[in-house]
Amino acid sequence: MISKEVARIVRVDHAGEFGAISIYKAQLFVAKFLYQDISVQLKEMLNHEIEHFKTFDCWLKEHKVRHCHAIWFWSLGGYCLGLITALFGRKAIWVCTEAVESTVLHHLEWQLSYLEKNNKSAYQTVLSIQQDEIEHQNLGKVNGSSSLYYSPIRLVVKHSTKFAIWLSTKL
């Protein structure tokens, strides 16, 4: 039997990956016209997020756990976030990536600590995405900017991500 907390953790991560897919799809849409030089990297990261989504989707189905009711919020919000940051420029895309991933990785640390003690299957599932998320965060740091100009973008992205995670834990 899967505990409510374990189900909630994987459900939130599943929704988050759905949102990440939308972020990258929107950014890739803009990049194809304006920033072809980063399209390959964005496509690669999109493919990682699609695989992560499938991993969580399989786990949910295998354990007969419903998906998050806020999943479409993640998709719509992710697409808007991706589109807006892409319109601010290639550096803003990378700032967005770093801000999302740093928030997600902080969230994953707590999850992994909890799951290691409470559900090995869910632990392995969450652990399986961690390295890709670290790589995405590092790409964001290297290619983004720490300029004060991007601070509002970073702040909005971090708080939007935290809000989406919080909302998903409630729905």
66: domain CATH number is: 1.20.1260.10
Residue 70 · residue 15 · CB < 8 Å = yes
Higher-scoring residue by pLDDT: 55, 147: 55
Q: What average pLDDT score do residues 57-70 get?
A: 96
Q: How many helices (H) and strands (E) does the chain have?
A: 6, 0
pLDDT band of residue 170 (cuts 50, 70, 90) is confident
Q: In this structure, what is the dihedral angle of CA atoms 4, 51, 71, 106, given to the nearest 10 degrees?
A: 60
CB-based contacts of 40-49 (< 8 A; 24+ apart in sequence)? 41/139, 42/93, 45/97, 45/136, 45/139, 46/21, 48/132, 48/136, 49/17, 49/20, 49/21, 49/24
- Secondary-structure breakdown of the chain: helix, strand, coil percentages, each rounded to the nearest 5: 90, 0, 10
3-state secondary structure of 63: coil
Distance separating alpha carbons of residues 53 and 12, to the nearest angstrom: 11
Q: What is the domain range of residue 69?
A: 4-170
149-163 confidence digits (pLDDT tens) = 999 999 999 999 999
User: Could you read off the pLDDT of 71-129 as tens digits, one per residue?
Assistant: 998 999 999 999 999 999 999 999 999 999 999 999 999 999 999 999 999 999 999 99
Domains in the chain: how many in total? Answer: 1
Share above pLDDT 90 across residues of the chain, in percent, rounded to a whole number: 92
Cα–Cα separations (whole angstroms), residue 50 to 5, 42, 91, 115, 131: 24, 12, 23, 23, 15
Average pLDDT score over residue span 45-49 = 98
